[in-house]
Amino acid sequence: MDISLNIRENEAYVRSQCEGCADIHIRPMKLGRDRQLVCFVVYIETAVSNMMLRDSLVGQMINRLWEMPQREILKCIRENSLGISDVKELATMEEAMAAMLAGNAVMFLDRYDRAVKIASKGYPSRGVPKAEFEKALRGSSEGFTESEKVNAALIRKRIRSTDLKVEEMTVGKRSQTMLALVYMDGLAYESLLDDIREKLKNFEVDGVFDTGMVEQLAEERWMSPFPQFETTERPDRAAMEILNGRVALLCDNAPNALILPTTFSSFMQAGEDRYNRFEIVTFQRFIRYAAVILAMMFSGVYLAVINFHTQILPTHLLLSFAEARQGVPFPSILEVLFMELAFELIREAGVRMPGPLGGTIGIVGGLIIGDAAVGANLVSPMAVVVVALSALSSFAIPDEEFSAPFRLLKYGFILLGGWFGIFGIVCGCYLVQGHLAGLTSFRIPYLMPFIGSGLKGYEKDRDGIFRGPLVRMRRRPVFARRGERIRLRMGDDAREQRGE
């Protein structure tokens, strides 16, 4: 609907749309020295400062217009002669209402067929917090906040280049949530950007309130337990991946960003891997990959060995297991399942427990329940050790969202190992590897760089379990455009690039 030249028609439409909205204020005014020009401003109460205050941008503009002759006001508004930043003309009522609901003040003037958007302080939000879930011993401690604008600014703070593009769009028919694609022009493939835009336009939903909803609606294989979008709450990690040719997706009201495309290897890399020496990082990655295997298969392998393949154990260890299980009334598979479910219950209780007590309840609760279960002869001590090591391994995986599928698959391996022995474990491994090999994230294989050795120009640029010295990592990953793979030049190459 176009904006009318008649101020009364515009005001009637706005009041009909805002009926019953006590937090939306419509303020009629008369401008000019002779107070003959009728106008009104519509705004959300807590999102716009008091317009009569001198330190308010809207207030300063209104005060200046009060002192102008009537014939000059429309010309001043049209040409933005006051030089106020972020003042924009809007041609339709839909645009005006959307701008108001985004936290801006919108002004309508008589005999003027445009509305004027005037940016103000916006919705209340907290300051830049510390990263809570991606803690690092080295590097920035800043974390994303719930404002998409602030999050984009935190990334631009680290990449001060006009090649960094921020492309905004809205999703949610009723929530009108703002999304932002952040990428480096010239590094990210245009086909990748087109695919992302198409995915975001492929669904219509009432409201989007977090990146998790966008992830579930836009991912290709929604039945897979493995995440196909990487999540980070650290601006430095997002900026680093953008320089690798990937795209960051920011969502208003979400204190994190989605990084895409993603791979298995990227989930196993921590934010501070680039800040530490390559020997330490390589050792830590070995620990993480071992933790993935233990978290998924250790309990199942234990059941397979003690139920079907006891001959591979030393005699003394086998006798120790048999003695520990004396008096336990349940089969080994039931005692392992009981302890696994008990640890998951403790983990969930620790997450939901408010305050600092939540971090300790998992450890203390696990020790108490495990000791009580052994003392009551419900489970064997070895079962407690196996389940505790399996649970501890899941905490060593850097990404919490990525550790969840392995915790879920663990129960499948328990059943396979408890019923079919090592044969069941091997079949389970084939199924998991086959599923991972079939996954893609925006045309990038999920198991890159462990597969794709045939890709030209990518054979020497792998950054998987091993991380080479930083001075040797001179090429960007496969995410970046083929002609823009060089990211580090040394010596004469660097001086030639600078034109020296």
Q: Concatenated DSSP letters for 374-402? A: HHTTSS-HHHHHHHHHHHHHHHTSS-HHH
pLDDT in tens, 201-257: 888 888 888 888 898 888 888 889 999 999 999 999 999 999 999 999 999 888 999
pLDDT given for residue 406 in this prediction = 93
pTM attached to this predicted model: 0.82
Choose between 394 and 36: higher pLDDT. Answer: 394
Cis ω before 261 (30° cut-off from 0): yes
pLDDT given for residue 53 in this prediction = 46
Give Cα separations from 88 to 14, 59, 99, 115, 144 (angstroms): 19, 17, 10, 8, 28
Partners of 142 in beta bridges: 130
pLDDT in tens, 345-382: 888 777 776 655 555 566 666 667 777 877 777 888 88
Mean pLDDT of 429-453: 87
Farthest-apart Cα atoms in the chain, separation: 104
Cα separation of 41 and 27, whole Å?
5
pLDDT given for residue 182 in this prediction = 94
pLDDT band at 304 (very low <50, low <70, confident <90, very high): very high
Cis ω before 449 (30° cut-off from 0): yes
Choose between 76 and 336: higher pLDDT. Answer: 336
Buried b (16+ CB within 10 A) or exposed e, 106-140: bbbbbebebbbbbbbebeeeeebeebeebebeebb
Q: Is the pLDDT of residue 291 over 80?
A: yes
